[in-house]
Structure 1
Amino acid sequence: MQLYYIERTLPDLLAGLALSAELAVFGILFAFIWAWLLVGGQRSQLPPIRMASQVLVDFARYTPVLLQLFVLYFGLPLIGITLSAFFCGVAALAFQQGAYLAEIFRGGINSIDKHQVQCGVALGLKRRTVFYSIILPQALIKMLPAIGNQVILLFKDTTIVAAIGIMEATMTAKVLSEQSGATYFLFLMVAVIFIVATSVLGLVVRYLEGIRRRRYGI
């Protein structure tokens, strides 16, 4: 009976997982873009821009992502702005995870010896060239483990979009459980699916870390 039930419900759960993966891909993409914008603001020579960037980072990190999701999905229509549930989910994930990534990027960049900038300028290179060609590649190598962890966290956080009715894996399991009453079994299946998916992501991150250690000794 359980084997039959798995065969009947697994396609729906995997479809939900595929939607979770889609949310994660777009969320990661926009989180990286948002993070670099925030880092650029934090490194700006203009105090108002630096302050505004830090306020955005702190707000995103210190408030729950579910609250941010509700503000986008339920709050914006009150001022005449209506966005799709999928877009709100991606935006909420990118907004918060982008702030965490911004702090990772900032810390990684600041960990590189600033004398390298002075040496590059002394050799006649522009500061922008020194940053993108010398500082940033070294920082990215150091940041790899932390970036990998945030990618995994973002993927797991896609479950929060169930709160606004998106049929990702957990919402699909909830609907199926209401139809069949097999609550425990269905959510156990979702747990197994997420364990497998995040384990694969973890293996990819560890593989990249191994390359980093062999090539750079870090």
Structure 2
Amino acid sequence: MKIWDWSYVWEAFPYLYQGAIVTIEATLLGFAIALILGLVFAMIRQSPNRYVSTTMAEIVEFIRSTPLLLQLFFVYFVGPQIGIFIPAWTAGIGVLGIHYAAYCSEVFRGGIENVDGGQWEACTALNLSRTRTWRTIILPQAIPPMVPALGNYFIGMFKDTPVLAAISVFEMLQQAKNFGGNNYRYIEAITMCGFFYYVFSLVASAIVQSVRVWLNRRYHLQ
């Protein structure tokens, strides 16, 4: 029996292609949720109301301190027992997004707090609205330095998508396992799956680097 057979590699491609589409969609949608919610969480934590900011901090810490897989199981399997029925795809994307939103919020918070306090005072002196202050002064300065850390979480989410197989969302690794189970040949499919993860991660890293350079040029940062 051959250790490696290229014919099985070509047979595995349709499985891997289907799984890759699911993996990429889950990553892009989940990270979009993470960015939006993460920014919302960070802004709430900046609230002058101590009770509001403390409550938000505890929620973020709770999400960060519990495993992603446990959160996924709770939403998908425990939810129906209390009358909450969420489709597997929606549950998977939602949990991925919320889980990583907690991490992204800390990146946003660090970036926001890194903006010099004089910027806030200048905005107040110029009588700028809070919305305009955030949109035109604070976030343009805070976001560029955050890009590398956010990029790391983007790649991390991409590599965490195999947990979706636990609720029957057939991403790339699960499709590779399905192929192996059907053909009794795992080495080709699993190896190619690993190779695709590696290539996609390199592409994502290049995109993140390009975004960082573009933002630095746009806002004239070093």
In the other structure, the counterpart of 2:135 is 132
Q: Is the 8 A contact 2:8 2:188 kept in 1?
A: no
Q: Residue 125 and residue 193 in structure 1: after superposition, are their counterparts in 2 closer, same or farther (change >3 A)?
A: same
Q: Which moved more, 1:13-22 or 1:40-49?
A: 40-49
1:19 is aligned to 2:22: yes
Gaps of 5+ in 1: none
Q: Is the 8 A contact 1:42 1:51 kept in 2?
A: yes
Identity of aligned residues (%): 32
In the other structure, the counterpart of 1:84 is 87
Q: Residue 162 and residue 105 in structure 1: after superposition, are their counterparts in 2 closer, same or farther (change >3 A)?
A: same
Q: State how far apart, in whole Å, the 2-side matches of 1:197 and 1:146 are.
A: 18
1:48 Cα deviation from its structure 2 partner: 2.4
Q: State how far apart, in whole Å, the 2-side matches of 1:48 and 1:210 are.
A: 39
Q: State how far apart, in whole Å, the 1-side matches of 2:54 and 2:155 are.
A: 29
Q: Is the 8 A contact 1:117 1:127 kept in 2?
A: no
Q: Is the 8 A contact 2:63 2:102 kept in 1?
A: yes
Gaps of 5+ in 2: none
Q: Is the 8 A contact 2:19 2:175 kept in 1?
A: yes
CA deviations over 1:1-29 (Å, ceiling 9, x no partner): 82221111112111101001111121011
1:214 Cα deviation from its structure 2 partner: 5.0
1:108 is aligned to 2:114: no
Which has the bigger relative contact order, CA under 8 A and spacing at least 6?
Answer: 2
Q: State how far apart, in whole Å, the 2-side matches of 1:149 and 1:48 are.
A: 31
Q: Is the 8 A contact 2:144 2:216 kept in 1?
A: no
* Aligned residue type for 2:17: L
Q: State how far apart, in whole Å, the 2-side matches of 1:209 and 1:35 are.
A: 19
In the other structure, the counterpart of 2:58 is 55
* Aligned residue type for 2:141: Q
**Match 1:165 to one of 165, 168, 190:** 168
1:175 Cα deviation from its structure 2 partner: 1.2
- Aligned length in residues: 218
Q: State how far apart, in whole Å, the 2-side matches of 1:77 and 1:123 are.
A: 53
SS across alignment from 1:61:
helix
Q: Is the 8 A contact 2:46 2:53 kept in 1?
A: yes
Q: State how far apart, in whole Å, the 1-side matches of 2:87 and 2:71 are.
A: 15
Q: Residue 40 and residue 213 in structure 1: after superposition, are their counterparts in 2 closer, same or farther (change >3 A)?
A: closer
Moved over 4 A (4+): 212-215
1:118 is aligned to 2:101: no
In the other structure, the counterpart of 2:208 is 205
In the other structure, the counterpart of 2:69 is 66
